[in-house]
């Protein structure tokens, strides 16, 4: 006996207290489970896009698409390098000068025309117009220099071609 109390009553009181605590715990777990269910519903609602796919699935698709775009970009860069290499072998720089070769013949019908590739190799084509005849000369250009003597107009045409940026600008001499 515990100060005049029967042990059975103490055991029953303790069992009742444990039972009440257990009941409160079960209720608390039920409330938490209910709240967790609501949070899960909200989470699933917010984690879906307009088509019903989850954001995670959408993210995986976007990452896969990024990898495809990366591969495409690398292919574009490779193609661009190939085009640049080919373009260096194509004529792309132009110089053109019209002039009057002889004082007694007008209209600036003589010209010097220079065409160069990306390595500054090409030719200079000159036409000298006279009253009775017209002569055409072609001179090779290697690395931006002519192996033969050049007139002032041919030199100017070559300089124009070396400085050419994409637009044809005719220069007339009087």
Q: What is the tens place of the pLDDT at every residue in 159-172?
A: 999 997 654 444 44
- Cα–Cα distance, 110 to 173 (Å, whole number): 10
Residue 58, exposed/middle/buried by CB under 10 A (0-12, 13-18, 19+)? middle
Q: What is the dihedral of CA 55, 60, 66, 67, to 10 degrees?
A: 180
- Considering the domain boundaries, does residue 159 fall inside one? yes
Average pLDDT score over residue span 15-43: 94
Average pLDDT score over residue span 144-156: 93
Q: Which of 35, 60, 87 represents a domain boundary (last residue)?
A: 87
- Considering the domain boundaries, does residue 38 fall inside one? no
Which residue has better confidence, 131 or 31? 31
Q: Which domain holds residue 64?
A: 52-87
Specify whether the CB–CB gap between 161 and 92 falls below 8 A: no
- Considering the domain boundaries, does residue 37 fall inside one? no
Residue 5's pLDDT band (boundaries 50, 70, 90)?
low
For the chain, the domain total comes to: 2
Mean pLDDT of the chain: 86
- Considering the domain boundaries, does residue 41 fall inside one? no
List the structure tokens of 49.
């896009």
- Considering the domain boundaries, does residue 28 fall inside one? no
In this structure, are 111 and 160 located in the same domain? yes
- Considering the domain boundaries, does residue 45 fall inside one? no
Residue 154's pLDDT band (boundaries 50, 70, 90)?
very high
Most distant CA atoms of the chain, gap in Å: 150
- Cα–Cα distance, 146 to 137 (Å, whole number): 13
What is 21-50 written as a DSSP string?
HHHHHHHHHHHHHHHHHHHHHHHHHHTB-T
Q: What's the predicted TM-score (pTM) here?
A: 0.53
Q: What is the pLDDT of residues 109-120, one digit of tens each?
A: 899 999 998 889
Asked if pLDDT for residue 173 goes beyond 80, the answer is no
Mark out the alpha helices in 47-170 (DSSP H runs).
55-87, 152-162
In this structure, are 132 and 105 located in the same domain? yes
In this structure, are 98 and 141 located in the same domain? yes
Q: Percent of the chain having pLDDT more than 70? A: 90
In this structure, are 117 and 158 located in the same domain? yes
In this structure, are 71 and 140 located in the same domain? no
- Cα–Cα distance, 105 to 101 (Å, whole number): 8
Average pLDDT score over residue span 71-99: 88
Q: What pLDDT does 37 receive?
A: 95
In this structure, are 165 and 108 located in the same domain? yes
In this structure, are 76 and 124 located in the same domain? no
Which residue, 151, 169, 148, is CA-closest to 94?
169
In this structure, are 114 and 142 located in the same domain? yes
Which residue, 154, 158, 90, is CA-closest to 126?
154
In this structure, are 82 and 138 located in the same domain? no
- Considering the domain boundaries, does residue 21 fall inside one? no
Q: What pLDDT does 3 receive?
A: 66
Average pLDDT score over residue span 92-96: 91
Asked if pLDDT for residue 47 goes beyond 80, the answer is no
In this structure, are 162 and 115 located in the same domain? yes
Asked if pLDDT for residue 41 goes beyond 70, the answer is yes
- Considering the domain boundaries, does residue 47 fall inside one? no
């Amino acid at each position: 006996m515990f100060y005049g109390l029967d042990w059975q009553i103490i055991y029953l009181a303790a069992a009742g207290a444990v039972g009440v605590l257990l009941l409160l715990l079960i209720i608390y777990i039920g409330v938490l489970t209910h709240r967790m269910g609501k949070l899960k519903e909200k989470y699933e609602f917010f984690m879906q896009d307009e088509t019903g796919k989850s954001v995670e699935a959408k993210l995986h698709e976007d990452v896969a698409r990024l990898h495809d775009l990366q591969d495409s970009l690398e292919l574009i860069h490779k193609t661009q390098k190939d085009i640049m290499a080919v373009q260096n072998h194509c004529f792309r720089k132009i110089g053109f000068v019209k002039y009057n070769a002889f004082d007694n013949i007008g209209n600036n019908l003589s010209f010097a025309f220079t065409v160069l590739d990306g390595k500054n190799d090409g030719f200079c084509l000159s036409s000298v117009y006279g009253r009775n005849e017209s002569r055409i000369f072609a001179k090779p250009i290697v690395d931006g220099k002519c192996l033969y003597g050049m007139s002032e107009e041919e030199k100017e045409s070559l300089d124009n071609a070396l400085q050419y940026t994409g637009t044809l600008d005719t220069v007339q001499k009087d």
